[in-house]
Amino acid sequence: MFKLEWAADRIFVCREDTLLGSFAIGNLKLHRIMTFSLPTIETCPGALECVDYCYAGRPEIRFLRTKISRHRNLAMTKMPEFPEILDNVISIAKKHGVTIVRPHEAGDFYDIQYVTAWLNVMAAHPDVAFYTYTRSAHFDLSHLPRNFNLLYSLGGKYDHLIPESARRCIVYKENPPKGYDLCPCSPGQNKDICGSGCFLCPSGTSNVAIKRH
């Protein structure tokens, strides 16, 4: 058995006195968007050059607490109860006004069982908008729930497997590429907040360019 504890900007998953994992609600960039983070690199099978500049990995280096938290989450995803945990977390988040969920503020889809757990829960909560970025194009992600907006991040091992009709996301260093909408939350842009001033990724249809942090 497990229990959920809501604490301001977090949902903690516990078993008796043991913390199993946690979900975050919003930050300076993500307005009231619930996120779930895993260790970078280790759970990013499609990573290539992004390993050298991964902004999501920096907190793991700077803060031991972040590293421990993400590895705790990874262990939780391998528990048989994880699909049930995920379903219950989404349910309680909705009661607190959460309408957008982003798997992987850090990390990625690392195996097909984990992918399936997320897709099943997404389908069970059609009133919630889910979105994320992935380089795990080697998994079959062709049959997605209608409420899941998936953007394939370019520059990974499996770019050649990205479906032609799929949304794409590119991280650029200097000049933004043509044919992409610029993320207004990128450095030097308008600083709109995801899920408040901007819904480009959660509900948009265009390709997105994000300036390297």
Summarize pLDDT for 163-205 with one digit per residue, the tens: 999 999 888 877 777 887 777 665 555 555 665 566 777 878 8
pLDDT above 90 (res 211): no
Instruction: Please report the pLDDT score of residue 28 as a whole number.
Output: 47
Chain centroid to CA 12: 17
Check if the beta carbon of residue 128 is closer than 8 Å to that of residue 98.
yes
Instruction: Please report the pLDDT score of residue 11 as a whole number.
Output: 93
User: Residue ranges per domain, the chain?
Assistant: 3-155
Q: How many CA atoms lie within 13 A of 161 on its CB side?
A: 13
The pLDDT tens digits for 128-162 are 999 999 999 999 998 999 999 999 999 999 999 99
The proportion of the chain whose per-residue pLDDT surpasses 70, expressed as a percent, equals: 89
The total of other beta-carbon atoms located within 10 Å of residue 36's CB is 24
Q: What are phi and psi of 26, to 5 degrees?
A: 70, 165
**pLDDT, mean of residues 70-95:** 96
The total of other beta-carbon atoms located within 10 Å of residue 160's CB is 8
3-class SS string, 29-80? CECCEEEECCCCCCCCCCCCHHHHCCHHHHHHHHCHHHHHHHHHHHHHHCCC
Instruction: Please report the pLDDT score of residue 27 as a whole number.
Output: 54
pLDDT above 90 (res 34): yes
Predicted structure pTM score:
0.89
User: Which position has the higher pLDDT, 7 or 43?
Assistant: 43
Instruction: Please report the pLDDT score of residue 201 as a whole number.
Output: 75
Confidence band of 206 (pLDDT split at 50, 70, 90): confident
Check if the beta carbon of residue 30 is closer than 8 Å to that of residue 102.
yes
